[in-house]
């Protein structure tokens, strides 16, 4: 059975589990587990996102890429950070700020780094990956990508990740995975990591040329074009082939609580 | 009170300032050159401000922003006092940025500017190097410019907030090889510290150890391999860094 690492809520350490993707169950300590668990994010270090790394997303901007304020298409990978306040686990609620009516779903394959990666070649890149997880890189919709989008991307609870880290060797071809996003059970987006501008290995190589990724960091390979929009009360399910499914619900911030005024 | 984090004979210590040298938290007194200086805090979420001094904004031919221009940095970019920062050989313009760094001391959400100072535990100095050759107009300033390994020297000391009477009236100076090249005052910030805390905490929760680098004034010029760059802020000390041609 595919091996993965998860973090059940209420426990300090991570658990090594077997994942039965078809049945939607996991086995831990030899026992098939019903879904009694709640899940913490299996990643806790720095999460880096990559802008415009799906060919379709880049193509949609084709004309704009040559005009102000962008002037020319991107050369090196354009990254951003999802800070710690954004990170939550599977089945958590995504708080929707009071002043917006829709959020954008960012269905990302996350590469979880297994050892310090600095200036790694494309050939060696895969050996620096510990495994793969699913990340929902939520944004307040914004058209311009000229300035950093901290206000749009770094809000509390805007980065559910999980449910687990599927071990690297269970996913032999990460550039050949179908990604589907369901909103309230209806498929709203389908794409494929074969459409990446920079493949998994090339992205790792190009990123670590200018900055080091530490063990435990996660690099998101990008958001596919036409990300679905979601509203208060919507249930989101992101499925990535061979890895699993990440589910979260959107609720107005005031209803989630924990927001001081 | 000023505190540092240092490595000495294989151990990591907190250190305090003596009239000569420093004292480790096991009581030993050593010279400042005997230790390796680490960043004085282990930065958590780290914000930096672009174009937050109007003279620097006009120096770069940008008009002053109407909303704070904020970007984030990862932990890989920080390096301590007396550290080295790599300048790639193909680069034509790499400049320092002397910045007042604010350290958050308690959880902050929807904080009004009138109460903002009570959320600060202390201050330190940051030198937020930029390599302009790598600027691209996507999420500008992009991480390839601003989040390179060891490109953000920080320290030497974390200075208690209570010791700084008016953080909005501190002189900032940068010296390259002893020559004064940048001079300004924190009073010229476009968005001052309370406004920045109000702004950031209006849409996200700040936590202890979060760091805000508040921007740099006019006077940023190119540096070369071998240059000693000292960024100095009144009341906080002097942060020394050397540009190297050896990758970190």
Chain A nearest-CA residue for B109: A260
Q: What per-residue confidence (pLDDT) applies to A260?
A: 42
Q: Among B74, B137, B144, whose Cβ lies nearest the Cβ of A70?
A: B137
DSSP string covering A163-192, please?
Answer: EEEEEGGG-S-TTS-EEEEEETTEEEEEEE
Q: Are A94 and A86 in contact (CB under 8 A)?
A: no
Q: What per-residue confidence (pLDDT) applies to A33?
A: 67
Rounded to whole angstroms, how far apart are CA atoms A43 and A107?
16
Rounded to whole angstroms, how far apart are CA atoms A117 and A203?
12
Q: Are B45 and B36 in contact (CB under 8 A)?
A: no
Provide the pLDDT confidence category of residue A257 given band limits of 50, 70 and 90.
Answer: low
Q: Is the pLDDT of residue A31 over 90?
A: no
ipTM, two decimals, is: 0.94
Q: A interface mutation test: which of B46, B74, B129 has the most A CBs within 10 A?
A: B74
Provide the pLDDT confidence category of residue A25 given band limits of 50, 70 and 90.
Answer: confident
- What residues in chain A have their Cβ under 8 A from chain B's Cβ atoms? 46, 48, 51-52, 69-72, 74-81, 83-86, 97, 118-119, 145-151, 154-156, 210-214, 217, 259-261
Residues 4 through 43 of chain B touching chain A, CB cutoff 8 Å: none
The answer to whether B140 contacts A261, with C-beta atoms less than 8 Å apart, is no
Distance from CA of B173 to the nearest CA of A (A): 28
Residue B60: CB atoms within 10 Å: 11
Q: Is the pLDDT of residue A160 over 70?
A: yes
Rounded to whole angstroms, how far apart are CA atoms A80 and B232?
29
Instruction: Tell me which residues of chain B have a pLDDT lower than 70.
Output: 57
Q: What per-residue confidence (pLDDT) applies to A259?
A: 44
Q: What per-residue confidence (pLDDT) applies to B177?
A: 97
The pTM of the full predicted model, rounded to 2 decimals, is 0.95
Closest by CA position to B32, among listed B57, B2, B7: B7
Chain B nearest-CA residue for A116: B76
- H helix or E strand, kind and range, residue A8: none
């Amino acid at each position: 059975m595919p091996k993965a690492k998860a973090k059940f809520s209420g426990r300090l350490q991570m658990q090594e589990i077997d994942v039965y993707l078809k049945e939607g169950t996991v086995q831990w300590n030899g026992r098939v587990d019903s879904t009694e668990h709640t899940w913490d994010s299996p990643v806790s270090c720095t999460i880096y996102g990559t802008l415009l790394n799906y060919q379709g997303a880049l193509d949609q901007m084709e004309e704009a890429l040559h005009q102000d304020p962008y002037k020319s298409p991107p050369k090196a990978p354009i990254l951003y950070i999802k800070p710690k306040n954004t990170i939550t686990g599977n089945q958590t609620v995504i708080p929707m700020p009071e002043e917006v009516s829709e959020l954008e779903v960012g269905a990302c394959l996350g590469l979880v780094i297994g050892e310090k990666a600095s200036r790694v070649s494309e050939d060696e890149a895969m050996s620096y990956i510990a495994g793969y997880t699913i990340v929902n890189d939520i944004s307040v919709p914004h058209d311009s990508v000229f300035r950093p989008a901290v206000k749009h991307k770094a809000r509390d609870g805007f980065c559910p990740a999980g449910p687990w880290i599927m071990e690297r060797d269970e996913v032999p071809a990460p550039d050949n995975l179908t990604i589907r996003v369901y909103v309230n059970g209806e498929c709203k987006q389908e794409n494929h990591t074969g459409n990446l501008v920079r493949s998994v290995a090339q992205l790792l190589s190009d990123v670590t040329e200018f900055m080091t990724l530490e063990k435990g960091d996660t690099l998101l390979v990008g958001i596919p074009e036409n990300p679905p929009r979601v509203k208060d009360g919507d249930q989101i399910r992101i499925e990535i082939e061979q890895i699993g499914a990440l589910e979260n619900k959107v609720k107005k911030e005031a209803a989630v609580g924990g927001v001081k005024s | 009170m000023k505190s540092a984090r240092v490595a000495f004979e294989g151990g990591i210590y907190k250190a305090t300032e003596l009239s000569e040298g420093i004292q480790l938290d096991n009581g030993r007194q050593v010279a400042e050159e005997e230790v390796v200086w680490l960043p004085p805090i282990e930065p958590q979420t780290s914000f930096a401000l672009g174009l937050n001094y109007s003279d620097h904004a006009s120096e770069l031919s940008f008009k002053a922003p109407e909303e704070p221009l904020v970007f984030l940095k990862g932990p890989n970019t920080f390096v301590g006092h007396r550290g080295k920062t790599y300048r790639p050989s193909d680069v034509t313009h790499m400049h320092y940025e002397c910045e007042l760094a604010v350290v958050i001391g308690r959880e902050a959400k929807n904080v009004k500017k009138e109460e903002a100072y009570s959320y600060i535990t202390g201050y330190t100095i940051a030198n937020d190097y930029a390599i302009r050759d790598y600027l691209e107009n996507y999420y500008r300033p992009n991480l390839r410019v601003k989040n390179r390994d060891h490109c953000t020297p920080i320290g030497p000391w974390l200075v208690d907030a209570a010791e700084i009477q008016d953080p909005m009236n501190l002189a900032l100076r940068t010296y390259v090889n002893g020559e004064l090249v940048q001079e300004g005052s924190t009073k010229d910030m476009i968005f001052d510290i309370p406004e920045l805390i109000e702004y950031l905490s209006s849409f996200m929760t700040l936590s202890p150890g979060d760091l805000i680098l508040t921007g740099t004034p006019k006077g940023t010029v190119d540096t070369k391999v071998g240059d000693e760059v000292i960024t100095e802020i009144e009341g906080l000390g002097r942060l020394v860094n050397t540009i190297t041609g050896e990758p970190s």
